[in-house]
Structure formats: C-alpha cells, structure tokens
Amino acid sequence: MIEAARSLLRDWLFLRLDDPTKAWLEEQISLLATANGDSALCMAFGQMPRRLGKSMLELSSEEAAAADRCIEGWAPGDWSLADAGRVLLLSSLPGEWPDFAPRFSSLCNTADVAEAISLYHGLPLYPVPATLEPQVGEGLRTNMRSVFEAIAHRNPYPKQYFDTHRWNHMVLKALFIGSRLAPIHGLDERANEELARIMLDFSHERRAAGRPVPFEIWRCVGPFARGAALGDLERVLGTGDSLERRAAALALAASPDPDAAALLNRFPEMATEIASGKLNWAVLQ
C-alpha cells in the first residue's frame, strides 16, 4: 500500500506542476540513485518552496477518498506543494533498512520548521516505518505546535506504531500546547484506561488552579468513566458552558457504568440528541 500511496502522491503533485517544474523534480529523484544522492537530497529539500511555490495540494473529494482507501487515515489535502515534493523525494530514496532511518533522523536534526513539518507529514509513505519511531518520539518533544501537529494530526502513523505510553504522551502533550484532539487519527480506537486516568488527573489540576478544562478531555474519559469519574461529569453538567455540558453528556453515553445512563437521563434533551445521532463528537467544535 505504501508504493500505491507514493504513486498517488506523485500523480496528484505532477497534475499541479508546470512542465519545467516537473522536469526539475524528476531530475532530483533520478539523482538520488547516484553517488551524490544524499547531497542532492539536501539541496533539493531546501529548494522546494522556491521551485514548487507556496500553493497547497488541495485534494478533491475524490482524491481525498482515494488517499484514505490506500492508507486508512492518510489525509494529505492540507499539505503544501513543497511538503508533497519533499515527501515524494524522500520516499523515493533507494535502499531501505538500515539506510533509510539514519538518513531520516539526520534530516530531522538539521531541518528548519517548514522542513520538519514536511518530514513528519510523510511518515506513512516511508520505507520500514517502524524503524522511525524513536525519531518520531523525539519530534513530539518540540514546542512548535505546527511541527507537533504534523505528527499528531491527520496522520495514521501514531495509531499504527506508537505503544500505549507514547500514544498517551502525545494526547496529553496536545492539551498542554493548546492543540485539538479531534484531528488525531485513531483517538477513539486507541482510548485506554491509563489515558482516562491521566485526563481525569489533569482536569483536577486545572480545576484546582482555577483554569478551564478542555472539553475534549471527556472524550478520552467517557469509555472508562466509572464511580468517582461520574461525579466529575455530573459537576460539568451542572456548572459548565454549553460546549462542556454536551461533551460531558457524550462521555456519559460512552460510559460502561450503569449509573451513567441514569445520570444522562436527567438531561433528556441531550440524551435524545445523542440517541438520534444529532449530538456527537464531530459536531463539537
């Protein structure tokens, strides 16, 4: 599927480039197989914005659907043309293990912000992706929200390759830097009891400090909300704003605790909207 995704990316990118730019990019790809391939790669990486311009890839709905069919969760529609060019170039490098991972890490270590975004966008398309996980973990340490979101948002790599500890760290880091959780691919599928506990502890710390609690916390808590956690949700239903109250209601609807249903039924309007499908996480923005 990775080869098919690379082929799709190449087709989409070349449809959006003029002939001289396509010829230049094809030349750069051919240079990768020469003795000076690494040098050519670094040079081309820096030249991408000037050569390809600042436009966005902007996939059509049909192209976006094809991307998701090829690799579940792959959504390159918000990439720039320079992102796409860099990813295509890097994913075309000859050689896999053990050659690719060190090259990828070396590029990450010297990349500027725009280059780092491109590098992490391309994770689903690189050879032997599991070997890149240590470097991706380092990338999560960044305080640059745009770089963090290149890993965490609309990227199928974390869902597939992160262990539970790394996954939970990524979700918590998103909250710390003010990033949304909804664009994280696999957020519901990778929900786990440890993350729910972390989210509850985080909410308690925020509330004790008189700071707002991000409403998306309750999406992570809901499937594991039992006992005392229901009290937290009841408090939000009684004191939160409209967005927070709806998030708490959705969390109750996902709870395995029988008492959650009784609590939710005290708010019949929201219970009815959830049952009918009118209220779900997708509509909470």
Is 119 part of any domain? Answer: yes
At residue 97, the pLDDT reads 54
Query: Alpha helix (H) ranges present in the chain?
Result: 2-15, 19-31, 37-52, 61-70, 81-91, 100-110, 113-121, 133-139, 145-152, 157-161, 164-176, 193-208, 217-221, 228-239, 242-254, 258-264, 268-276
d(CA 262, CA 31): 66
147 and 243 assigned to the same domain: no
Number of domains into which the chain is organized: 2
16 and 118 assigned to the same domain: yes
Query: Range of 135's domain?
Result: 2-164
Residue 115 pLDDT more than 60?
A: yes
139 and 80 assigned to the same domain: yes
At residue 33, the pLDDT reads 83
Residue 96 pLDDT more than 70?
A: no
261 and 151 assigned to the same domain: no
Is 133 part of any domain? Answer: yes
221 and 127 assigned to the same domain: no
Is 183 part of any domain? Answer: no
| Mean pLDDT for the chain overall | 94
Is 177 part of any domain? Answer: no
- Assign 233 a pLDDT band (cuts: 50, 70, 90): very high
160 and 198 assigned to the same domain: no
79 and 199 assigned to the same domain: no
- Assign 241 a pLDDT band (cuts: 50, 70, 90): very high
Which DSSP letter does residue 225 get? -
Q: What digits encode the pLDDT tens for the residues 29-79?
A: 999 888 777 888 889 999 999 999 989 999 999 999 999 999 999 999 999
126 and 231 assigned to the same domain: no
At residue 93, the pLDDT reads 83
At residue 95, the pLDDT reads 66
At residue 229, the pLDDT reads 96
At residue 240, the pLDDT reads 87
Mean pLDDT of 150-167: 98
Mean pLDDT of 166-191: 97
pTM (2 decimals)? 0.94
